[in-house]
Structure 1
Amino acid sequence: MKKLIYLCVLVFASCATSKFDKVNGVSFVASGEEVAQHHIDPVLKVGANYAAVMPFGFIRDLDSPELIFNTDRQWYGERREGAKQYIEKLHQNGVSVMVKPQIWIFDGQFTGNMKMPSEEDWEKLEASYEAFILLYAEMAEETQSDIFCIGTELKTFVNERPGFWNDLIKKVREVYTGKITYAANWDEYAKTPFWSDLDFIGVNAYFPLCERENPTIETLTEGWQPWKTKMRELAKQEDKPILFTEFGYRSMDFTGKKPWLVDRNQMNVNLKAQADATQVLFNEFWSEDWFAGGFVWKWFMQHDQVGGHADNRFTPQNKPAESIIRRQYTQVKKSSL
């Protein structure tokens, strides 16, 4: 009888692990200062076991091949020195890290539309981008970071230069021994050609779900079904788990219509819509065995100074959505009671 009870406990523990052992992550936004313990405490309080650390490179325009990175003109957290300090502090607190170098194009132009006018410019961009990625891949290995992301929302670059990306993945593997992914936008992941060479199918999950001003749990749930079916099929086809390299919603009306919007519109604040959309995403994905988890977009270091009930931006901080995230992310602790 004791053996039977013991076996039941083991089976239960195994099921609990498969259900709750997810990447419960936040996208930890770079700042101009070093990260201190009081910056990490809110990450721990929300129950996150992962953080994405995001050093940046900058490009002047969509057709410019010059990528500027790791310079003193950047914020501390956007360059190598700062990213390493962030990672070390997160690791000291038991938080795993995905290193996710990103590009910012002047005036917020969409990186997926970046396209060079000539072969010469493509080659210049490739040389610069490779140096950018390998710099941070080496840092990821040095800091023993758990996941490395080779790019974010670079649809045209990927489509136009597939050979470059195949070579880049091989070069990253030579210097970094952890898991590798790529953060494909919601409208490009299905045609990204190199998933078989990576460890996760990375998706920035800003899928349009419904056009209602005040979306309901029911309409949001219904809106997910076709997207969810396609991701499940791709995960099975590639035999790779889906990882939401970014997910989140604006706290505003129509939050499910175009979740990718980053403009500074004056849309009415709608805290309930953000909270409900976040809850539905958790309901739909976190119990799926083909789904690895994800990173909330976005989480600022200065927790007490951001978000709040008058803010219609992405951050869930100091809003009802933060409580939704905490409840989901801390389930692993509850399951062990």
Structure 2
Amino acid sequence: MTTLIDQLGEPVCGMTWGWVGTRGTWATPAASASMAAMRENGVTWTAVAYAAVQATAVSTEIPFDQEPTVTDDEVIWAIREAQALGMKVVLKPVVNVADGTWRAHIGFFDWDVPNEPNWTDWFAAYRAFIVHAARTAQAESVEMLCIGCEMVRADGQEVHWRALIAEVREVYTGLITYNCDKYQEDRVTWWDAVDVISSSGYYPIGTWQAHLDRIEAVVEASGKPFFFMEAGCPSRTGSADLPNDWALPGEPSGAEQLRYYRAMFDACAERPWVGGFMLWDWPASLYAREDAATNDDYCPFGKPAGDYLREVYGRMSNREVNA
């Protein structure tokens, strides 16, 4: 089995930055300070993540060059800012739905029907978005491109995904990954078309070993390297049991986030095929350190999990340097 560490020569000690990529929030002094603070937490890779917005889950237009999506100049700024700080980059263009529907529910009839919105039209718009990002990734020497995130209903459209990946490869020579949703690692049928398998690892705190067993079988069968393109937990009571629920009611709790981080990293440390993490997430406009105790979101800045993260990422990086 080829691991991602074998392929890259280092683990992905990563953090997602800048989500959701709202126009005007990048390429600012605040954004620059935020990225520098992220780097100080032992982060050596970052996912520059931004969303284009379609109107509804059955829309077939993706106006990625319009507000609220960040501009091309802002994307390029973020890539270069990360590179200047010594970080490697995964460019992560994502599609969202304006009415709040989760992108996993974007979907159409399994077959195209005249006068109905369909997968062919949607993928044409989506390919334009992703290939545009791929050209930027190539021009800016980005190490990896993520071609999709948690598109559960779209995952079954194998022919369309393979066509998209082939088109991306015509303009981009770096590594290609797809970020499937949690519980979906063993349901994607086209892993052979990408270079790296990745997923959103928001697994309840007591279930990591069982899910790692399941994912390991996928990784072994595919022969592809793997890492968690998303993972993490809000600093909020109860979140360790439902880490994917960003709206879960609860009180701010750095201890809860730390408890989850420890369980996640300890479980994955036993699996050498886990090539690293792109933790969720670090905002472009960072809260003040003195407000960390009352912040209940995913960002570990100024929280016990942030101190622990520096230790873990430091060990991961040093282990590979000294290997």
Verify same fold: TM over 0.5: yes
Are 1:133 and 2:121 matched, yes or no?
no
Q: Distance in 2 between matches of 1:146 and 1:328?
A: 23
Contact 1:240 1:290 in 2 (8 A): no
- The residue type paired with residue 243 of structure 1 is F
Are 1:85 and 2:77 matched, yes or no?
yes
Are 1:22 and 2:18 matched, yes or no?
no
Q: Distance in 2 between matches of 1:334 and 1:242?
A: 20
Contact 2:27 2:78 in 1 (8 A): yes
Q: Distance in 2 between matches of 1:25 and 1:111?
A: 23
Change (3 A) 1:97 1:64: same
- Partner residue, 1:52: 47
Contact 2:185 2:218 in 1 (8 A): no
Count of paired positions? 303
RMSD of aligned C-alpha atoms? 2.1
- 1:125-204 alignment runs, 5 A limit: 125-159=122-156, 161-204=157-200
Contact 1:46 1:330 in 2 (8 A): no
TM-score using structure 2 length: 0.87
Identity of aligned residues (%): 22
Identify unmatched segments of 5+ residues in structure 2: none
Q: Distance in 1 between matches of 2:235 and 2:171?
A: 40
Are 1:34 and 2:27 matched, yes or no?
yes
- The residue type paired with residue 33 of structure 1 is W
Cα offset, 1:304, TM superposition: 4.2
Residue by residue, what CA displacement relative to the aligned partner does 1:93-144 show, whole Å, maximum 9, x if unpaired?
2100001111111243111111136545222211110000000011111111
The structure whose Rg is larger is 1
Identify unmatched segments of 5+ residues in structure 1: 1-16, 210-219
Residue by residue, what CA displacement relative to the aligned partner does 1:174-213 show, whole Å, maximum 9, x if unpaired?
111111110100122210111111111111111234xxxx
Q: 1:270 aligns with which of 246, 253, 278?
A: 253
Q: Distance in 2 between matches of 1:35 and 1:87?
A: 14
- Partner residue, 2:274: 291
Cα offset, 1:158, TM superposition: 2.0
Q: Distance in 1 between matches of 2:208 and 2:239?
A: 14
Q: Distance in 1 between matches of 2:200 and 2:215?
A: 12
Q: Distance in 2 between matches of 1:102 and 1:323?
A: 30
Q: 1:247 aligns with which of 231, 238, 241?
A: 231
Higher helix fraction: Structure 1 or Structure 2? Answer: 1
Residue by residue, what CA displacement relative to the aligned partner does 1:218-245 show, whole Å, maximum 9, x if unpaired?
xx3xx21110111111111111122101
- Partner residue, 2:303: 319
